[in-house]
Chain A
Amino acid sequence: MNVTKRALTGPICSERDFDQRIFAPKLAEALKQCEIKFDPDVLIPSDDGTADDLFKAAMGFYADVGTYCLDTERIIKFDEDEIKEGLRDAPSQAVFGEELDAGVLRPRQPESRELPWCFIGAGGAPVSSEEIFLSLVQAYGEINLADAVTTPELTMIDGLPIRVQTPLEIFGSIRNAILGRDALRRAGRPGLPIMNALATAASDTALIAALQPMYGLRPSDGYFVATMAELKTNYELMNKACVLTTLGARIGTLAGCVMGGYCGGPEGTALTVTAHHAHGILVNQATYHLNHPAHMKYISNSSPEMLWLISMYAQAVSRNTHLLSLNLNYTSAGSATDMALYEIAAQVITAVVSGVSIEAVGLARAVYVDHLTPIEPRFAAEVAHAAAGLKRADANEIVKALVKKYVHKIPNAPAGQRYQDCFDMRTGKPSRECVETYTRVKNELEDLGLGFKY
């Protein structure tokens, strides 16, 4: 109610003025305060003071800028005391899932040995059929290191392409919920949480329809409420947050800040992602924060600038709050390629040693239908566990070595293979080629100094 009231009574402003006359100049001012600078030699900085300065500047920036409501054309504002109070009162841990499959998501610190929460699967990538959806989600559930699952997005319902804001989206979202839970039952992990509820439900209407308990979703799953780029919301997103809050469900705020867009370069993007955490707790009432910064040209977040900014925001947030923050990685390369595994390793190591947990993985920017397999999420979780406790300086050397293997290929990265082309869907077994690639890359990582536990 408080947020809605502010959306209805806050300062009136056109969207263009918000972007150009408020967001951009205030961001430039905030950047002057913290003086952070991307350094291609130090992708994972070890300077705590810089991370703390970034956090302070980001919170001041959010107090100056607020969140723009596209429907009311007003700014939802919070002062610095309200932001401090929000940070203090935000959940410092949360139980997800049920019974034997329940787990506790806890905050982490840079270089922490605390194991990261592994929220793994499709990263919302599209699939063409219910058969593939079921097979993939069952396989995700069978990954021992999975603390939670991210399901794919259904693109078809009974032979028709799903369209947003139509009955097809409602039917598709309900089907997504039913199939997701059914697949996890088949995997023998019925209580495992689905933390991207609900990939198929872009609209508030579709999400609300799929929330009926008979379809299998529970308050102990995780529910996404997105943020528009940058620091913008609308009634549809606020409606989602409203319904989820009244049900006692756990909200995850999604922030996909675009480097090269309104945020400017890597420095401005690191600051904006950090500021989005304040938006998440105050506007979306979030329990957890999922960040997937994107490169303007490549959409993925595996380039050196993107890795640096992931490290910077992760350190700023984890050192200065108890917020439950995760990074979602998008690769340039697709499934069953060694390049995707190199990218995943670099992204996951960066996030984990910088103090956050992970969602993995959006392969090939999660664009190509059926281009995803269970191997990459399994690999991501194994890397995440291996990276816990690494020193930032050591991790920096490993990540730089990995980046050298793929950075030149980013503009023309391979799309990889479809699930049905590199896995036997009857048995769930990968092709020999897939296994060989996975084994070879793991061996290379061990040679670089990453000690796998699994």
Chain B
Amino acid sequence: MNQKQDVLDRLRAAVVAGDETKVKEIVQEAIRENVDPLEAIEKSLIPGIREVGEKFERMELFLTNMMLSADAMKAGMSLLLPRVPKDKIPKRGTVVAGTVKGDIHEIGKNVLAALLTANGFDVHDIGCDVQASAFVRKAEEVSADIIAASALMTTTLPGQKDIVDYLKSMGKREKYVVIVGGGPTTAEWAEDIGADGYAETAVDGVKLALRKLQEKK
């Protein structure tokens, strides 16, 4: 095995292991060895995080593993992306994900954020108990494609409608895909409030986001 392939293999393994420190070390080594940064992203970081996502879907790995791997992958990206020529940076979908106002349940949103990252999205997790206006502000700031809003309680569901209403009132409804999820949400609810889609699970949420992103293009 040549030295470059060895570096790429070790980098991928470090992402799968969720070892952020090791990822940073190997990326530095790759840079010293003149490995093409785009190749390191496409042959190590992305396949590594995809492998973790697939194992999570099969319940061979769990949430903590996936979040650690997502952090490790992001750390590697932050070192490699500045070295990739701007016209060659792979275009990724951008998602703003959060739990709506009044709702502090975040495990479902965390799973979605990690799985979206594993599937190549640039995810901006804005936490829980988030106002509708804050979702939109962040989407504007990062030029998002998708706003993903989670709610776990029947009494916080209206917070998802608030986001759609807020976008409409600003004349920006068509600019973003709005997807909703969480315990009490249903396809009927998503349709009623004028959202673009609903997902029952985080895995379905990723499929929905990929489909909607494709349609948006």
Q: Mark A194-238, 1 if CB is under 8 A from B, else 0.
A: 000000101100000000000000000000000011000010000
Q: Select B102's contact among A16, A19, A165, A299, beta carbons within 8 Å.
A: A165
> How far does the Cβ of A156 sit from chain B's closest Cβ, in whole Å?
10
Is there a chain B Cβ closer than 8 Å to A325's Cβ?
Answer: no
Considering only residues 85-134 of chain B, those with a C-beta below 8 Å from chain A are: 102-105, 107, 111
Q: Are A228 and B105 in contact (CB under 8 A)?
A: yes
Residues of A within 8 Å of B156, CB to CB, are 163-164, 202
> CB within 8 A of B155: which of A163, A263, A297?
A163
Of the listed stretches B29-37, B42-50, B56-64, B137-145, chain A binds B56-64
Known: A19-B67, A258-B107. A202 touches B186 (CB 8 A): no
The answer to the question of B201 belonging to the interface, with a C-beta cut-off of 8 Å to chain A, is: yes
A163 in contact with B104 (CB, 8 Å): no
Residues in B160-177 with C-beta less than 8 Å from chain A? none
B-facing residues in A282-299 (Cβ within 8 Å) = 296-297, 299
> Is A70 positioned at the interface, with any CB of B under 8 Å from its CB?
yes
Quick check: B104 and A368 within 8 Å, CB to CB? no
Q: Chain B residues near A263: list those with CB within 8 A.
A: 62
Query: Cβ of B67: which chain A residues have Cβ within 8 Å of it?
Result: 16, 19-20
Q: Is A262 among interface residues, defined by CB-CB distance under 8 A?
A: yes
Q: How far is the CA of A296 from the CA of B184 in the complex (A)?
A: 15
Per-residue interface assignment for chain A, residues 360 to 402, with 1 indicating a CB less than 8 Å from any chain B CB and 0 otherwise: 0000010111000000000000000000000000000000000
- Tell me the bound Cα distance from A126 to B107 in angstroms: 22
**A262 B63 Cβ-Cβ under 8 A:** yes
Which B residues are CB-close (under 8 A) to A169?
155
Residue tally, chain A, CB below 8 Å to B: 37
Q: List the B side residues contacting A70 at CB < 8 Å.
A: 104
- The closest CB in chain A to the CB of B18 belongs to A20
CB distance from B184 to the nearest CB of A (A): 5
In the complex, the answer to whether A264 meets B62 with C-beta atoms within 8 Å is yes
In whole angstroms, how far apart are the Cα atoms of A165 and B184 in the complex?
A: 18
Asked if B153 CB lies within 8 Å of chain A CBs, one says: yes
Are A24 and B64 neighbours in the complex by a CB distance under 8 Å? yes
Q: Is A155 an interface residue (CB 8 A)?
A: yes
Interface mask (A135-159 → B, CB under 8 Å = 1, otherwise 0): 0000000000000000001010000
Instruction: Decide if B154 is an interface residue (CB 8 Å cutoff).
Output: yes
Most buried by A among B63, B102, B107, B154: B154
A40 at the interface (CB under 8 A from B): no
With A260-B63, A265-B59 given, is the CB distance from A162 to B155 under 8 Å?
yes
User: Does residue A161 face the partner (Cβ distance < 8 Å to B)?
Assistant: yes
Closest to B129 in A: A165
* A261 CB–B CB distance under 8 Å: yes
Would you call A163 and B59 a contact (CB within 8 A)? no
Q: Quick check: B155 and A261 within 8 Å, CB to CB?
A: no
| Distance of A261 Cα from B109 Cα, bound (Å) | 11
Q: How many Å lie between the Cα of A299 and that of B152 in the bound state? A: 12
Do the beta carbons of A161 and B158 come within 8 Å of each other?
A: yes
Q: Is B208 part of the binding interface, using a Cβ–Cβ cutoff of 8 Å?
A: no
Q: Does B203 count as interface, using CB distance less than 8 angstroms?
A: yes
Given the contacts A24-B64, A261-B63, A163 and B102 also touching, CB distance less than 8 Å:
yes
Q: Which chain A residues border B203 with CB–CB below 8 Å?
A: 297
Q: Which of A163, A234, A264, A367 contacts B184 (CB 8 A)?
A: A367
* CA A232 to CA B105, docked complex, whole Å: 11
A260 x B59 contact (CB < 8 A): yes
Is B68 interfacial (CB-CB < 8 Å)?
yes
Q: List residues of chain B with CB within 8 A of the CB of A299.
A: 183
Kindly list chain B residues whose C-beta atoms are within 8 Å of the C-beta of A162: 154-155
Check if B153 sits within 8 Å of A20, measured CB to CB. no
Q: Is the CB of B64 within 8 A of A19?
A: yes
Shortest CB-to-CB span from B131 to chain A, Å, is: 12
Give the shortest distance, in Å, between B206 (CB) and chain A (any CB): 13
User: Complex formed: what's the CA distance from A169 to B135 in Å?
Assistant: 24
Question: In the complex, which residues of chain B have a beta carbon less than 8 angstroms from the beta carbon of A172?
Answer: 155
In the assembled complex, the Cα of A378 lies from the Cα of B148 at a distance in Å of: 39
Which of chain B's residues have a CB closer than 8 A to the CB of A165? 102
Q: How far is the CB of A29 from chain B (nearest CB, A)?
A: 14
Question: For A260, what are the chain B residues with a Cβ–Cβ distance below 8 Å?
Answer: 59, 62-63
Q: How far, in whole Å, are A234 and B103 apart by their CA atoms in the complex?
A: 13
Q: Which residue of A lies closest to B60 (CB)?
A: A265
Name the residue on A nearest B127 (C-beta).
Answer: A15
The proximity string for A residues 328-371 relative to B, scoring 1 for CB distances below 8 Å and 0 otherwise, is 00000000000000000000000000000000000001011100
| Inter-chain contact B102/A164, CB cutoff 8 Å | yes
CA distance A368 to B184 in the complex (A): 7
12 contacts between A and B (CB under 8 A): A70-B104, A126-B154, A153-B155, A163-B158, A164-B102, A202-B102, A202-B153, A202-B156, A229-B105, A262-B63, A297-B59, A297-B201
Which residues of A come within 8 Å of B, CB atoms? 16, 19-20, 23-24, 70, 126, 153, 155, 161-165, 169, 172, 200, 202-203, 228-229, 234, 258, 260-265, 268, 296-297, 299, 365, 367-369
In order of increasing CB-CB distance, the 7 nearest A-B pairs are: A164-B102, A164-B155, A24-B64, A264-B62, A261-B63, A126-B154, A165-B102
Please name 15 further chain A to chain B contacts, defined as beta carbons within 8 Å, in addition to the given A16-B67, A202-B153, A297-B59, sorted by A numbering. A161-B158, A164-B156, A165-B102, A202-B102, A202-B156, A228-B104, A229-B107, A258-B107, A261-B62, A261-B111, A262-B107, A367-B183, A367-B184, A368-B186, A369-B154
